Amino acid sequence: MASNTDDNALLAPRNVWGSPYSPKRALLLHGLTCSPHCMIYIAEKLSEHGYYVIAPDLPGHGIGARVETYTWDVMDNAVVALFTEATYNLVVGFSMGGVLALRAIHKLPPVYHERSQLTRVVLLDPPIRNADGLSSAYYALFSDLTRNPPKPEFFLEHFPRWTQKDAVLQVLASELCDPLVVDHLLQPPRVWAHHEYLANVPSCIELIFLFGDTETGGICCIKELDPYPQYERRIIKGASHWIPYEFPGEVVEACIAPEKESSQSKHKSRNQRLSWSSWIGYLTDWSSL
What residue ranges define each of the domains in the chain, with the CATH number in brackets?
5-283 (3.40.50.1820)
Across the range 147-152, mean pLDDT stands at 98
Q: What is the pLDDT of residue 244?
A: 98
What confidence tens digit (pLDDT) does each residue in 200-249 have?
999 999 999 999 999 999 999 899 899 999 999 999 999 999 999 999 99
**Is pLDDT of 97 > 80?**
yes
Which pLDDT band holds residue 27 (cuts at 50, 70, 90)?
very high
Buried b (16+ CB within 10 A) or exposed e, 196-215: ebbeebeebbbbbbbbbbbe
Closest CA to 74 of 83, 62, 86, 66: 66
Under 8 Å between Cβ of 192 and 129: yes
Report phi then psi at 155, rounded to 5.
-70, -40
Cis peptide before 189 (omega within 30 of 0): yes
Chain centre to alpha carbon of residue 219 = 16
- Return the pLDDT at 1: 41
pTM of the shown model? 0.89
Q: What is the DSSP letter of 220?
A: S
The pLDDT assigned to 270 comes to 52
Q: Picking from 145-154, 178-187, 273-282, which range would have the lowest pLDDT averaged per residue?
A: 273-282
Contacts of 15 (CB under 8 A, 6+ apart): 36, 37, 40, 43, 54, 55, 56
The pLDDT of residue 280 is above 60: no
How many residues are there in the chain? Answer: 289
The DSSP output letter for 35 is: -
Phi, psi of 209, deg, nearest 5: -115, 130
Task: Give the C-alpha separation, 25 to 218, whole Å.
Answer: 28
C-alpha 244/C-alpha 38 separation (Å) is 6
Model confidence at 82, in pLDDT bands (50, 70, 90)?
very high
For residue 172, the tally of other CB atoms under 10 A from its CB is 15
Q: What is the mean pLDDT of the chain?
A: 90
Window from 1-5, 141-145, 183-187, 239-243 with minimum mean pLDDT: 1-5
Q: Give Cα 102 to chain centroid, integer Å.
A: 10
Mean pLDDT calculated for residue range 37-53? 98
According to DSSP, the residues that pair with 267 across neighbouring strands are: none
